[in-house]
Structure 1
Amino acid sequence: MNRSLSSGVLSVVSAKIVILIVGILSTPILFRLLEPAGFGDYSFLMSVFAIYMIFVSSGIADGVRKFLAEERSMQDWEPYVVGYYFRLALLFSLTGAFLMILSSQSGLVTRLFGAEYTPYFYGLALLVVSVQFQTYSRKTLMGFGLERYSEPLNILDKVAFVVVAIPLVYLDFGVTGALAGHAVASIAVGVIGLMLIHQRVPLSNVFRTPPSNFPRKKMLTFNSMSIVLLFLLTSLYHIDVVMLQHFRESADVGNYRAALTLAEFLWFVPLALQTVYVHSTSELWSRNRTKQITSLASKTTRYTFLLTAIMAVGLAALADIAVPIYFGPDATPAIEPLLLLLPGALGFALARPILAVSQGEGTLRYPVAATGVAATINVVLNFLLIPRYGMHGAAVATSVGYGGMFAFHCVSARHVGFDPLADARFSRIVATTALAAIPIFALAAVITNEWLALVIVPPTGLAIYLTFAVLTGAITPAEPFEVLAEFPEPIGSRAAFAQERLEGVHADLTIAGWVQSMLFLTGVTFLLSGLLIALFGTEGGTPVFG
């Protein structure tokens, strides 16, 4: 497949950024309109739906993008793959929708979850079909390397949901209005996606029978393992919400989901990398380029650690301010669960690209085993801690399960055949994070004006962190410009020039140098904080100036 890996990453990352912004703007509105209890019911339904869809999707999404990305000598390989997975998607979605309607009519939903949830499951039955083809169409386009189409469709899905759902919720349609937003958005994206696929491969191939040498058995085996892997991953995302709904009130579920939402902001770049790497590294694995895979995986681990660590530190430092402002005063109980979730969210962020590279190899038994151990720990701890500690217990259990994903998948990666820690520079990044956290937390503590803290702390903290990262050797001075060099003009050419000038420059420090740098930057930070307090702080509840 003739395309640039970096262009695929940038397409997906750009879409993830837009989707992140849409989510940042829409989620607190939904939280306020639905209130904690309604938001808890909505979150619970979407968690149940996500787990159910694992069996309906049956690995179709991962399968179609993986096998389309492979180079095969078989004539009409791509049309056969598209048609084969389309038939599977249709069969499983209709079956899944029928079973969901049957469970509602038979009273099973009432017995399991309560009578108030039965009407919602009829809406979820429609979502089964619409979301199936929305996902199938997007992943098929990605398998063709057409992220320039698949990612705008992802944006359209999120924007259409917001445009439809928020007015309906505002008009007192509640959770039903939110579900209707998902239905309209997924139908629109599915139809447009299928039209784009038809331009590349006619959908009439759905009716063509593949030849006898078409690898049905391999595809089914891959799908079977994908079902297990996706189920385990989804349990990590949602089992805490489902169990918390059983043991606690809906308001607790809503506040806990709010904490999860903020913690999951750490994942947007790792998610983009995971999305692209499955089918991109499939090509490298098919050519047996193990050294290139190890280099790619270890560098990605290092960059992911650097990025998510500073995000976690900043979010922790500003949690007391950010949560009430973002979700409203009713979400104040979400602050402590958020702090408990952040270490695990960081570990899960590191595990995501490693898992994607392992998936690209195609032998899933080691990733499944690693994910299974983490998921089992997660379920057991949630079962033990939620009845006694509520959402705090759920946060601890989930954080441990998330963090275990990184450790177990590092072991899994070595069995698969690559080393994600070869150039990770973990000790240097840990030192960078520990040193930078001191002035960042100090800065957040001394700026008493909440809005000013939100404006000042993130960019100042990033500058402090990057300085330490260069000084400790976690990154070289040229590396940030290496990433920027892949961006469009005029950024790309200027970054490439800066990268060329800085190549070969290193700034590794001894321990004494680290301490000296920390003291210097901390002193500068406190000086800046003092000036800001003098201008914008409060004294006895009254602004000093203004």
Structure 2
Amino acid sequence: MNRSIASGVLSVVSGKVVVLVVTAISTPLLYRLLGVSQFGEYSFLLSVFAIYMIFVSSGITDGVRKFLAEDRGADNWEAHVVGFYFRLAIVFAITGAALMVVAARFGLVSAAFGERFVPYFYVLALLVITAQFRDYARKTLMGFGLERYSEPLKVLDTVGFVLIAIPLTALGFGVAGALAGHLIASLSVGLAGLYVINRRQSLSSVFTTPSSRFPRREMLTFNSMSIVLVFLLMSLYHVDIIMLQRFRVSSEVGNYKAALTLAEFLWFVPLALQTVYVHSTSELWSQNRYQKISSLASRTTRYTFLLTAVMAIGLAALADVAVPLYFGSDAEPAVEPLILLLPGALGFALARPILAISQGNGQLRYPVASTGVAAGINVVLNFLLIPRFGMHGAAVATSIGYGSMFAFHIVSARTIGFNPLSDARLSQAMATAGLAGLPIFALATAIQNPWIALVVVPPVGLAIFVGFAILLGALEPSEPFEILAIAPDPIGSVAGKLCRRLQTTPGESPIAMGQSLLVAIGLSLLVSGLVLSLVGPGIGMAHP
């Protein structure tokens, strides 16, 4: 990963960490303030809105991010791209808001979802406009390579929502108060983002007509394919919520959304990589640097698997502790759906950076086909399983749909011209997850006090996991420090020195894979047995 891409990833990850922390604090508050049923209605409305906004904004935001990043050498290229997509954003925002008002006014909403949802759609109509310019502003800044501005705006959006929505829901405004938080926060972010863009490239370019050589057809084709791709992708996020609301009560939707929220925490790094890779790899594709792209993709796949797997193992081991403490005792039914969702969440995490690199190529036919097959599997399984098994059926269906994304996008990537598995070391990574998982689960079982378990299991589990990863060859000894080296000083400089020392110091002859696997199996069983026999007998009270 070169330094420019790494710095972009670091900016996005830093912003996403802040957003993750704020979201982690605010979500259980909203769950408690709204109650299970209203939280389910709120989640349903956001799912409907997210799918609707695909047709309003996704082609615009993906297009402006991709084409601004390309160095075409044309006169006033940046100005024409900014102006072209800004004009489209205005037209689509006004049209999208008007159609939503018409649907609410003339009975389409009440016929489809029920009369109680009609007032909310008038608020959503306003949110269409503010969200359009919020997303246009952030993605335009990313296209300029200005993640140092786009990511603070994302933080502002999240913090602004929380500061407005939490007091309003606490005062009794319910779902309308939560939606008002989104509306005011997105308006603020949109205005701030447009101001920053205007300083880089005047928005008066909206009135400038580019020459006939400007690639309008190419851009519109990319836009239409992006809309299809994002629609299929977002259906994987939201079709289960919408179907649950159709076949089950709102309280079940609320608990299922609680499980989804925790599962989606696994994606914050893969989503950061996807955010940066679309425009960063567009430049690599334009320079025909195929070997560099394959190297980047395969290392990303390996790191993503290891990071997401250790988080999934820890979350599964602590699920019966974390869910009730986080959301409250009413959310205990969410534990089993959460565990069912985790394998698929891992597969989806692996697919996201691969999809982003494919998008950077601009040939969306194969990514669309791969995502379409996974989305189709997801819809069919949800339709078959939800009426009979409720949120457990939704979790199984969605997990299978999520997981299939990885397999299908591997095929898509190879068809496009890069190999995400060339240095992924999947066999070593899977062995690491399986063998490290035993002592991590043993430790979570042995520590019976929930608060002690939450404090002890994550860091000890991470150390165990990294140790097995190095032993089995999923990680080189220098690689953890190589990743930390891109962090700000003093962490970055210290990690860089350690990385160089490990890379230049001759090590012992590596253990053969068969021998190291036998050693790892023995260690896994030994550590698990020691934990259960020595730690278990006396730490605290039973799990709730």
TM-score, normalisation: structure 2 = 0.97
In the aligned structure 2, how far is the partner of 1:374 from the partner of 1:521?
Answer: 35
In the aligned structure 2, how far is the partner of 1:507 from the partner of 1:472?
Answer: 10
C-alpha change, 1:87 and 1:539, in structure 2 (3 Å) is closer
Residue aligned with 2:6, SS: helix
Confirm or deny that 1:409 pairs with 2:409: yes
Match of 2:449 in 1: 449
Contact 1:323 1:335 in 2 (8 A): yes
Partner amino acid for 2:518? V
Residues 91-133 of structure 1: CA deviation (Å, up to 9, x unaligned): 0000000000011000110000000000000000000000000
C-alpha change, 1:51 and 1:492, in structure 2 (3 Å) is same
Residue aligned with 2:476, SS: coil
Partner amino acid for 2:456? I
Partner amino acid for 2:113? F
Contact 2:19 2:158 in 1 (8 A): yes
Contact 1:447 1:529 in 2 (8 A): no
In the aligned structure 2, how far is the partner of 1:485 from the partner of 1:304?
Answer: 17
Residue aligned with 1:424, SS: coil
- Moved >4 Å (runs of 4+): 504-509, 524-535
Deviation at 1:517, TM superposition (A): 3.7
C-alpha change, 1:540 and 1:90, in structure 2 (3 Å) is closer
Match of 2:222 in 1: 222
- The equivalences for 1:327-476 within 5 A come to 327-476=327-476
Contact 1:89 1:136 in 2 (8 A): yes
Specify which of 512, 515, 518 is matched with residue 518 of structure 2: 515
Partner amino acid for 2:12? V
Deviation at 1:500, TM superposition (A): 1.1
In the aligned structure 1, how far is the partner of 2:11 from the partner of 2:208?
Answer: 33
C-alpha change, 1:529 and 1:152, in structure 2 (3 Å) is farther
Deviation at 1:538, TM superposition (A): 3.3
Residue aligned with 1:4, SS: helix
Match of 1:206 in 2: 206
Contact 2:472 2:520 in 1 (8 A): no
Match of 1:544 in 2: none
Deviation at 1:524, TM superposition (A): 4.4
Deviation at 1:523, TM superposition (A): 3.6
Contact 2:297 2:357 in 1 (8 A): yes
Partner amino acid for 1:349? A
Partner amino acid for 2:186? S
Contact 2:343 2:399 in 1 (8 A): yes
In the aligned structure 1, how far is the partner of 2:336 from the partner of 2:211?
Answer: 58
Residue aligned with 1:298, SS: helix
TM-score, normalisation: structure 1 = 0.97
Contact 1:354 1:409 in 2 (8 A): yes
In the aligned structure 2, how far is the partner of 1:145 from the partner of 1:508?
Answer: 43
Match of 1:114 in 2: 114
Match of 1:279 in 2: 279
In the aligned structure 2, how far is the partner of 1:539 from the partner of 1:288?
Answer: 59
Partner amino acid for 2:392? H
Match of 1:133 in 2: 133
Confirm or deny that 1:253 pairs with 2:241: no
Deviation at 1:537, TM superposition (A): 2.4
In the aligned structure 2, how far is the partner of 1:343 from the partner of 1:10?
Answer: 26
In the aligned structure 2, how far is the partner of 1:332 from the partner of 1:66?
Answer: 43
Specify which of 532, 540, 543 is matched with residue 537 of structure 1: 540
C-alpha change, 1:178 and 1:135, in structure 2 (3 Å) is same
The gaps in structure 1 that reach 5 residues or longer are: 542-546
Match of 1:165 in 2: 165
Provide the aligned C-alpha RMSD in A: 1.6
Residue aligned with 1:538, SS: coil
Contact 2:298 2:424 in 1 (8 A): yes
Deviation at 1:288, TM superposition (A): 0.2
Deviation at 1:494, TM superposition (A): 1.2
Residues 435-463 of structure 1: CA deviation (Å, up to 9, x unaligned): 00111111111111011011111111111
Identity score, percent: 66
In the aligned structure 2, how far is the partner of 1:539 from the partner of 1:415?
Answer: 53
Match of 1:492 in 2: 492
In the aligned structure 2, how far is the partner of 1:248 from the partner of 1:296?
Answer: 44
Partner amino acid for 2:378? N
Match of 1:243 in 2: 243
Contact 1:440 1:457 in 2 (8 A): yes
Contact 2:438 2:528 in 1 (8 A): no
In the aligned structure 2, how far is the partner of 1:395 from the partner of 1:268?
Answer: 20
Match of 2:193 in 1: 193
In the aligned structure 1, how far is the partner of 2:513 from the partner of 2:293?
Answer: 31
Residue aligned with 1:138, SS: helix
- The equivalences for 1:49-198 within 5 A come to 49-198=49-198
C-alpha change, 1:218 and 1:147, in structure 2 (3 Å) is same
Contact 2:449 2:542 in 1 (8 A): no
In the aligned structure 2, how far is the partner of 1:370 from the partner of 1:514?
Answer: 34
Partner amino acid for 1:238? H
In the aligned structure 2, how far is the partner of 1:46 from the partner of 1:539?
Answer: 37
In the aligned structure 2, how far is the partner of 1:374 from the partner of 1:392?
Answer: 19
Residues 401-455 of structure 1: CA deviation (Å, up to 9, x unaligned): 0000000000000011000000000000111111001111111111110110111
Residue aligned with 1:422, SS: coil
